[in-house]
Amino acid sequence: MTSPSAARAPTTLLIACGALAREILALNERQGWGCYALTCLPAIYHNRPEKIPEAVRGKIRDNRDKYDRILVVYGDCGTGGELDRVLADEKVERIAGPHCYEFYAGEKDFARMMNDEPGTFFLTDYLARHFDRLIVEGLGLDRHPELRDDYFGAYKKLIYLAQTEEADLARRAAAAADRLGLAYEYRFVGYGELRRFLSLAEAS
């Protein structure tokens, strides 16, 4: 994933959730970073978070001798702390935060949103783009719409945390909120702590 203008080979490997790949590549191109290579795990692992820790461990061990440094771009993502235990064993750092919603929005703003309305479901650009495949089909709502209340009955609002200002994605997010029977709110947050984490790593 090196910048075309980069004169050096990547020295740092990013192991990331597939849901972040587009954003990491966009940041790399925009910032002209040259030290990163990127490998991703399937985004669908969010539906099976128990797979994430050992899959990350496998990526680390497969690549440890190929790079000067390895960084992980994952939140805890429902692993119950198991991902952090793996990373402590492997002596690898990850971006801070429990999930991408927080590191896109920022810890304080995310906490404020949750305090204002605890029953909030969040979308990012990735989830707005793939809502039907990951949420509707992934949770079986296309086949069993009655499951909507089981999964989303406790939610009141859907907030779209937008990384880019794309009108089509905003329309998709609004349609997702309507399909789930939730109030809709749009917030442009950009790349948040993802940009900061990668820029600090690039500079070090």
**What are the pLDDT digits (tens) for 109-143?**
999 999 999 999 999 999 999 999 989 998 999 99
Across all residues in the chain, what is the average pLDDT?
92
**What are the pLDDT digits (tens) for 164-178?**
999 999 999 999 999
Check residue 143 and report its DSSP letter.
Answer: T
Q: Which fold has domain 12-98+192-203?
A: Rossmann fold (3.40.50)
Residue in this structure with the two tokens 């959730």, named with its chain if needed: 17
Q: Answer whether 0.95 is exceeded by the pTM.
A: no
Give the dihedral of Cα atoms 51, 86, 17, 182; nearest 10 deg.
70
User: What residues does each domain of the chain span?
Assistant: 12-98+192-203, 107-188
Three-class DSSP category at 19: helix
